[in-house]
Structure 1
Amino acid sequence: MIMELATRSQRFSELHRAIPDISKRMLTQTLRNLERDGLITRHVFPTNPPSVEYRLAPLGQSLLEPMAALIDWADRRYPDIHAARLRFDGVSGDVPR
């Protein structure tokens, strides 16, 4: 969600389309939690019907650099992560528990 809002404000429907397999209920809960934590802001525009956009607050913007580093790490280490999952799931014949 943070990365979806990194470049621009978005409406609920845009976020729902951009994030695969998230229910409207879970998206609503997540947005409320992020707003409560000060990571995003919710802007209501006085239109009929009301229009709402979500954008990163300064605190949320401060997460972008560490999140980008984590995403980069996960991309580089994906083969190791995938191998660990296979071992855990027992596909390689070894079931560490």
Structure 2
Amino acid sequence: MKTWVYFLLCENDTLYTGTAIDPLRRFNAHCAGRGARFTKMRKPIRLLGAFVFESRGEALSNEYRFKRLPVPEKRRLAALAAEDPAWLAYLMEHETG
């Protein structure tokens, strides 16, 4: 099943990286205080973008790899995710549907 690795901008200009089948729904859960301890302590401000992977395992290994990057590299990756064609198509689909 396709799974996304997503990037959130949180309070204090921090980044959060996670995985989800539906990143918009997961973002709403984070905003409601459900989910990761990190986002309970640092409120999410914006869903920056995401990359889609063909399987949950592939997404989880990439999430792990992304989380180990230095902060400037994570920010660069989040900016790339925001412009990813698959991400933009996902947003368009959820905006109209």
TM-score normalised by structure 2 residue count: 0.32
> TM-score, normalised to structure 1's length?
0.32
RCO higher in 1 or 2 (8 Å CA, sep ≥ 6)?
2
Larger radius of gyration: 1
